[in-house]
Amino acid sequence: MSTSLVLGFFDGVHKAHKAVITSALEFSDNVVLITFKESPAVYFGKEEEYILSRKDSLEKIKKLGVKNIVELDFSEIANKSAEEYLKYLIDTYKPVSISTGFNHTFGLNKSGNAEFLRNNQDKYKYKYICLPPVKDGNNIISSSLIRNYLKEGKVDKANSLLETNFILEGTVVHGAKIGRTIGFPTANINYPNEIVKLPFGVYCVSLAFLEREGVRGQLKSAIMNWGMKPTVHNTVEPIVEVHILDFDGDLYGKDIRVEVLKQIRPEQKFSSLEDLKKQIKKDIKECSEL
């Protein structure tokens, strides 16, 4: 069976990534996607913040119809020349096509690129499919663009390019329990270390309980505060607090999945708990109208 290769890291699996993957699926039913266990940036000592967990990114890839995903250890191929790496792919998979985005690079000192793959088609008997830039207005869609949107609190813009919602997952931990004293009990989780950080603020979200591996409960409307809780002065580290609308129950120790829909305001300090309570009611009303 003829094999089409797709090359890339695919953090978030956004619209442009989908175009690259689809080009291979249209060429052959047998697609092998070559990616890495973690971002190559980590190998070079950079601290990487992912748009989605690798688990969620790989799930999105599988839903597109890719059955074969190979996660390489970047350290094992980091010192290969572009020619050596390409020959490794050819000898291992014997592809009839190779698909990448227009700016994909590989090999020592990033010596492999679109031009290199195009120039070696005849030598190694494959068709090279190079996807041109996919744009959103005047912006080229990229993982960097989406990270910037998230860091600016423009979650709805990021979600439109991801075509799924930005996700935070965690286990509910004990907090100071201030929320329940003012009528708004919260489920608190620690923000995942490896995920790109949103600015402190209040967000409309949907929440699901993770029941068991691969099975998620029904989404529930909720409101999330991410930050330092400046009104109550009891937080040393920032925390994610989620108030589930129309819900009453004990969630301590449960695993939850929070899909972030939109930021409605920055985090702010109120002069009293009563003022905070009034603002939360307004926030809930705004989220209820989404």
Residues tagged active-site: 241
Question: Are residues 141 and 16 in contact, defined by beta-carbon separation less than 8 angstroms?
Answer: yes
- Provide the angle, in degrees to the nearest 10, between the axes of the packed helices 155-162 and 143-151: 150
For residue 275 the two structure tokens come to: 């003022």
Q: DSSP string of 207-246? A: EEEEEETTEEPPPEEEEEEEE--TTTT--SS-EEEEEETT
Q: How far apart are the first and last CA of the chain?
A: 48
Burial class (CB in 10 A: 0-12, 13-18, 19+), 91: exposed
Coil, strand or helix at 171: strand
Helices (H), 15-169: 15-27, 40-43, 54-63, 74-77, 82-93, 114-119, 121-124, 143-151, 155-162
Q: How far is CA 184 from CA 119, 163, 283, 284, in A?
A: 62, 31, 12, 10
Residue 288's alpha-carbon distances to 155, 164, 197, 248, in angstroms, are: 17, 20, 25, 18
